[in-house]
Amino acid sequence: MELRLLRYFVAVAEERHFGRAAARLHMTQPPLSRAIRQLENDLGLVLLHRSATGVELTDAGEALYTEAGTLLEHAGQARARVVAAGAATLTVGTLGDDGDTGARLAAAFRERHPRAPIRFRQADFTDPTAGLRGGLADVAITRTPFDDSGIGTHVLRCDPVGAVLRENDPLAGRDSIRLADLESRPWFQLPEGVDPAWRAYWNGLRDPGARPAGMVVRTVSECVQAVVWNGVTGIAPRTHPLPAGLCWVRLADMPPSPLVVAWATARRDPLIRSFVRTAVRAYSPA
């Protein structure tokens, strides 16, 4: 049975008159009469006794009226839940490293979901999953490597990695350098307890303690300031914006940094899947 026909029937049953029901439904009487006839034909039952003064429900009509109210109520609740799900806020986790949740991705996602509220949550280096692991984000634009158990990832692009140096550094004028060129320099440190794979990568592929220890940093800004003020060695993807007085020199033997869209594999939210698909398309080469 069509919900539309049930709504028409309920109006007629409650008004006990086709003319008043038609006015209530903002339609004319002939199509309403045809719709009720269609419903009766579909069921193979007479639902109404028609007379010049109005209509009366048959026993079958009374039964349908009771059931129709419940069905329409459930349909309304289901619709409300779907609308609420469609309007749910999507929390996107980032590391705030270089604006990689940029205009192209935003425009593409807004085109598909113009009314979906989006909230961004900037994590620090202690959580490379950008909030996914703790349930603080629905989806993330972040970087690997990290422990990806329970987390799906799709590589959007791979960025070359280089050393962040002061412009007056002896190595600053080179086209590229190697990790060995930085061996004796103090190296910024990530906090204790950080994902081991993540920590080793940003320690220049070395275990913690294998290099001279510099300042402990938790954010991109702290990394930059450690170089500016203390001359600590930092490494970063080429996409990082740098302030005046600093430069980036490619590390020839450092593997590139994969930028990924990530999500919790246990989640089945359609909005999350749509964000992932949109991100993959937005970062695909033109």
| Tens of pLDDT, residues 190-236 | 888 899 999 999 988 887 677 888 888 888 888 888 898 888 888 89
CATH tag for 90-158+258-282 (out of 3.40.630.10, 3.40.190.10, 1.10.10.60, 3.90.10.10)? 3.40.190.10
CA distance 139 to 259: 13
Q: What is the mean pLDDT of residues 164-190?
A: 92
Ranges for all domains in the chain classified under CATH 3.40.190.10: 90-158+258-282, 161-255
Share of the chain above pLDDT 70, in %: 94
Token pair in block for residue 237: 């993807």
Token pair in block for residue 94: 């980032």
Asked: is 161-255 a CATH 3.40.190.10 domain? The reply is yes
Kindly write down the DSSP assignment for every residue of 164-218, as one continuous string: EEETTSTTTT-SEE-GGGGTTS-EEEPPTTS-HHHHHHHTTSS-TTSS-EEEE--
Identify the architecture of domain 3-86 in CATH.
Orthogonal Bundle (1.10)
Ranges for all domains in the chain classified under CATH 1.10.10.10: 3-86
Among the listed residues 266, 257, 281, the one whose alpha carbon sits nearest the alpha carbon of residue 128 = 257
Instruction: Count CA within 13 A, CB hemisphere, residue 22.
Output: 14
Res 208: pLDDT? 67
**pLDDT of 59-110, one tens digit each?**
998 999 888 888 888 887 777 666 555 556 899 999 876 555 577 888 889 8
pLDDT band for position 252 (50/70/90)? very high
**pTM to 2 decimal places:** 0.67
Question: CB of 143 within 8 A of CB of 128?
Answer: yes
Token pair in block for residue 214: 């510099």
